[in-house]
Structure 1
Amino acid sequence: MTRIAATLVIGPSAAAREAAIAGVVDEHQRTALILEGLPDGTSPFPSPLPSWLTIVRIAPGCICCSGNLTMQVTLNRILRQHPERLFIGLVNSMHLPQIRQFLQQEPYDKWLSLTSELTA
């Protein structure tokens, strides 16, 4: 099984995080984005979205402090689509080590290969 390259994205605003992702995304890879927080009304991604790109937004709130349920459900739905690349945009980087640890535990350790963070 090929593991999915997963990158945590941190930055001061939704627009900055999305712009950072748009700068590195490869249109030749099926890519999924899980973006925490509300968009600011602009997006660097085309509308309608191309078939190789999936974007899912979740409400802001610390992923590790909220019991991970929202992240688990969202991540499980995304993984069923078999993306080749995954970006997770975080509103707050304060608990980055706990979030990385969550993503490195079963069952996600078999699906994901975490990369270095992308900072906007």
Structure 2
Amino acid sequence: MLRVYGIKNCDTVKKSLKWLDKNEVDYEFIDVREQPLQKETVNGWLQKLPAESLVNKRSTSWRDLSDQQKSLEDSNTVAELIVEQPTLFKRPLVESGQAVHCGFNEKLWSERYL
């Protein structure tokens, strides 16, 4: 079963959940505003994805960070920032077995999840 992390009012998350439902893919949705992220979870993502791939640099939260926070060199700091401000990670984030993927791309999702 897929674990899908996101925010329920995010347009991309809505589109991806609709796609999963339409294609009858079994998943669990975790709204990170209702169920806050744990640092261990984010550290697990950072072991599988580089911070550059995980962080949403187009978000308002990103623009509000200091230059030092934006360095992304220390994964511990990145994890803390994402736990504090969950809008910093690219959504949706999908855990599938040992793999972690960010964002929605219908073609790639069809290859991975169907």
TM-score, with length taken from structure 1:
0.28
TM-score, with length taken from structure 2:
0.29
- Larger % of helix: which? 2
- Larger % of strand: which? 1
Structure label with greater radius of gyration: 2
